Structure 1
Amino acid sequence: MTVRVVFMGTPDFAVPTLERLLHAEDVQVVGVVTRPDKPKGRSKKPVPSPVKEVAVQHGIPVYQPRTLRTPEAQEPLRAWRPDVIVVAAFGLILPKAVLDIPPYGNLNVHASLLPRWRGAAPIPAAILAGDEETGVTIMLMDEGVDTGPILAQRAEPILPDDTSETLSRRLAYLGADLLMDTLPRWLRGEIQPQPQDERQATYAPMLKKKDGWIDWHRPASYIERQVRAYVPWPTAMTRWKGRVLKILRARAHPHIQPEGIPGTVIPWDKGAAVITGEGVLELQEVQLAGKRALPIHAFLRGARGFIGSLLEGHERTTSDA
C-alpha cells in the first residue's frame, strides 16, 4: 500500500528527511507543515523556511499555521487524511487533537540519544557538555516534550572540531536514513516501542542570544566548547573597546596558566590568546561588529591595541534575549 504522510519541519536539519520521503516508493507526501515565513535582513522581507522551499519545488501543498491548538487550525491536517505524521525540528508543540489524527501515530526525528537532551537545542547542548557522542532518535510522539517511546536510535561521534553546524549536517542525514529504515518496519508492526528512562533525562532549552556571552573566568576548555556549540547562532561573544567581538574559532590550552586577569589578551605565536580562569584560549578566527570574519593574524593587522587589552564581560539584560 501507499502510505499517506504529512511532514512537519522547518530548518535545514529537516530537509534530508523530507527529500527522502519525497523520493521513496510507496510513500505519498500529501502535505507539508512548516513555520510562517520570517522577516530577514535589513529589508525585513519574509523568507520561506528551507522545508517550504523544497515542498514548493516538488509541488507539495504547504500549510504555515502560527498555532495548532484550535480546531480551525487542525482542520487542514484532517483533510489530508494522513496515515502517519513525520516531524523533524518543526518548532511547535503538537496538541493531543493533532496527535490523534494519524492512525499510525506521529514519528519524530530528534537530534540526540533520548532521553539525554530533550528539548529545542540538543546539538549545542551535547557539544557544550563535552559529550563524546550523540546521535538521532526516532520516537513516537506523545503530549510531552520529547518524552514518547523510542522506536530506533543511531549514535554518532562528536569530533574535536565539530560545531553545531557541522554536527547538525551529519545528524540530519543520519536521521533521514534512520527514519527511512524505521518507518516501513513500524507500519508492518515489527517494532515494539521502548519507554524512556526518566531517571536519565536531561534537557536542552531553546537558545537565547545572551547565551553566547563569554565569561572569561570559566575554564578555557569550556569556552572552546561554547565557541563550537554556538556556531552558527548565537555565536560566542565578548566586548573589546565597547564593541561586540565574536569568537568564531578557538583552541583551548588548559595546562598553560600565565599571570594575569581573566579576559586579558596576550601574544600567542603569530596571533593572540586570552587568559581564562583555567588555561588560555588561542583565538583563531574573530569578527568585530559590522566587519567581516577574519583569521586572527589578519584581524591583528587592523586592531591596534588589541594585545594587552582586557576583553569585557557583559551585563545580561532583557534586550539580549
Structure 2
Amino acid sequence: MFAGTPAPAVPSLRALLDSPRHEVVAVVTRPDAPAGRGRKLSRSPVGELADEHGIEVLTPRRAGDEDFLARLSELAPDACPVVAYGALLPRSALAVPRHGWINLHFSLLPAWRGAAPVQAAIKAGDEITGASTFRIVPELDAGPVYGTVTERIRPTDTAGELLDRLAKSGAELLLSTLDGIEDGTVQAVPQPADGVTYAPKVTVDDARVNFAEPALAVDRHIRSVTPEPGAWAEFRGQRLKLGPVRLGDGEYEGLAPGELVVERRRVLVGTATTPVVLGEVQAQGKKRMAATDWARGTRIEQGERLT
C-alpha cells in the first residue's frame, strides 16, 4: 500500500506501478481539499494517479481512524512505502505491514528531519543534499536507514527545482529499497546520534524576507521558499511577492536594507551587505511581472523601501 499526497510523491508511485515485481493494492492519501479559484474539492496528485489506474484510494482524516485501520488489516500489505503523506502514523498502523512503513525522505538523514528538508538545506547554504529511505518509527524521521542518494545543490536552485530532481532520483531509490527488502539484500542501519538537525514546516510568515540580512542569506532565503509558500515583503503597506534575486555587482554599497534603486534595466534592493537585483515580482491583485515593469508602473520615489 502506497501512502503519499503531493506531486513530488507521484514519481515514486509511478515507479511502483511500472515495476513488474510489486503490486500496489491500495493508495492512502490526504482527503480531497478545496483548490483553485472556485475552491472545489480536488483529489491529491497521488489520488488522481491511483484513480487513473483503478486502484483503491483511502482518504482517512486520521491514520488512526478505526475504518482505515480495519481496511489496512484486511489488505495486510507486505510493506507500505511512504512519500510526503502528510499525516502522523500511529503505532497501531505501523504494526500492520510485516516489513513496516518505508519512508522516502528528501535529505541525508540524520540531517534535516521534519517537514521541510529541501527548504532548510537551501536556506542553510548546504552544497550537497539527497534522499534517504528508512523504516518509520514513532520518533520523527529517526528510523534506521536502508539507503541514500546524493544531489548537488546548484547556486540558483529553488526549492521547487531541487525537489523535482530529488523526487525522480528518490523514486529509483525507493524502488531499489523495496526490491532489496523483498530479496533480503538490504538491511536498515541505525542513524548516528551526531548530526541531527530539524526542518519544521515553513509558514507564510516564515517566508517574509528580511533585507537586514546579508545579500547571500537573502538570496538563499528567497530560493528556499520558491515556489511555496513564496517569498514576500511589504511595499507601501501591501504585500509584494518576490521571485528569486541575483547578487549585485557591488554598486550602491551604502544602500540601506530594503531601500530601492530603479535603473533602466534592473531594480536593486539594499541588504546588510551589497544590494540584490530583483527578478520577478507580483503586487496584490496583479500578475507576476519583471521588477523593472513593476517599478515603471509604480513610480518608486527615492528612499522608498521594501520591509
TM-score, with normalisation over the residues of structure 1? 0.92
- Identify the match of residue 23 of structure 2 among 28, 32, 36: 28
Q: Which moved more, 1:43-52 or 1:8-17?
A: 43-52
Identify the match of residue 76 of structure 1 among 60, 67, 71. Answer: 71
- Within the candidate set 275, 278, 284, 1:280 is matched to 275
Aligned residues between the structures: 307
Contact between 1:134 and 1:157, CA under 8 Å: does it hold in 2? yes
1:104 touches 1:187 (CA, 8 Å); kept in 2?
Answer: no
Specify which of 86, 91, 113 is matched with residue 81 of structure 2. 86
Out of 221, 226, 230, the position equivalent to 1:231 is 226
Mapping of residues 107-126 of structure 1, within 5 Å: 107-126=102-121
Residue among 167, 189, 204 paired with 1:172: 167
In structure 2, C-alpha distance between the alignment counterparts of 1:252 and 1:270, rounded to whole Å: 15
Q: Answer yes or no: is the 8 Å Cα contact 1:300–1:306 preserved in 2.
A: no
Q: Is residue 255–residue 275 contact of structure 2 (8 Å, CA) maintained in 1? A: no
Q: Take 2:21 and 2:150, find their aligned partners in 1: how far apart are those partners?
A: 28
Q: CA-atom RMSD, angstroms?
A: 1.5
CA contact (8 A) 1:272 1:307 kept: no
Output aligned runs, 1:1-321, within 5 Å.
Answer: 6-253=1-248, 258-268=253-263, 270-305=265-300, 308-312=303-307
- Residue 231 of structure 2 aligns with an amino acid whose one-letter code is A
Cα contact 1:221–1:253 (8 A) shared by 2: no
Length-normalised TM-score, structure 2? 0.96
Tell me the CA shift for residue 96 of structure 1: 1.1
Equivalent in the alignment of 1:319: none
Unpaired runs of at least 5, structure 1: 1-5, 313-321
Taking the aligned partners of 2:282 and 2:215, their CA distance within structure 1 comes to 19
- Cα separation, partners in 2 of 1:39 and 1:307, compared to 1, 3 Å: farther
CA gap 1:70/1:52 in 2 versus in 1, 3 angstroms: closer
1:269 Cα deviation from its structure 2 partner: 6.2
Q: Which amino acid aligns with 2:21?
A: D
Q: Which has the higher strand share?
A: 1
Per mean C-alpha deviation after superposition, the further-off stretch among 24-33 and 188-197 is: 188-197
1:271/1:300 contact within 8 Å kept: no
CA distance in 1, matches of 2:147, 2:116: 20
- Segments of 5+ residues of structure 2 without an aligned counterpart are none
Change (3 A) 1:266 1:229: same
Question: Where does residue 316 of structure 1 map in the other structure?
Answer: none
**Residues 238 and 311 of structure 1 are in contact (CA less than 8 Å); yes or no, is this contact kept in structure 2?**
yes
Distance 1:239 1:306, change over 3 A: farther
Evaluate the alpha carbon distance shift between residue 149 and residue 256 of structure 1 in structure 2; reply closer, same or farther with a 3 A threshold. farther
Paired residues of 1:221 and 1:254 also in contact (CA < 8 A): no
1:78 maps to amino acid: S
Paired position in structure 2 for 1:3: none
Conserved 8 A contact 2:226-2:244: no
**1:259-280 deviation per Cα after TM superposition (whole angstroms, max 9, x unaligned):** 2321100135621111111221
Q: Residue 29 of structure 1 aligns to a residue in which SS?
A: coil
Q: Quote how far apart the aligned CAs of 1:198 are.
A: 2.2
Contact 2:253 2:273 in 1 (8 A): no
- Whichever residue aligns with residue 26 of structure 1, its letter is R
1:264–1:274 Cα contact (<8 Å) kept: yes
Q: Percent identity?
A: 38
Instruction: Give the drift of 1:308.
Output: 3.7
- Quick check: 1:151–1:193 contact (8 Å CA) kept in 2? yes
Question: CA separation in 1, counterparts of 2:255 and 2:150?
Answer: 42
Task: Give secondary structure in 2 for the equivalent of 1:152.
Answer: strand
Contact 1:7–1:33 at 8 Å: present in 2 too? Answer: yes
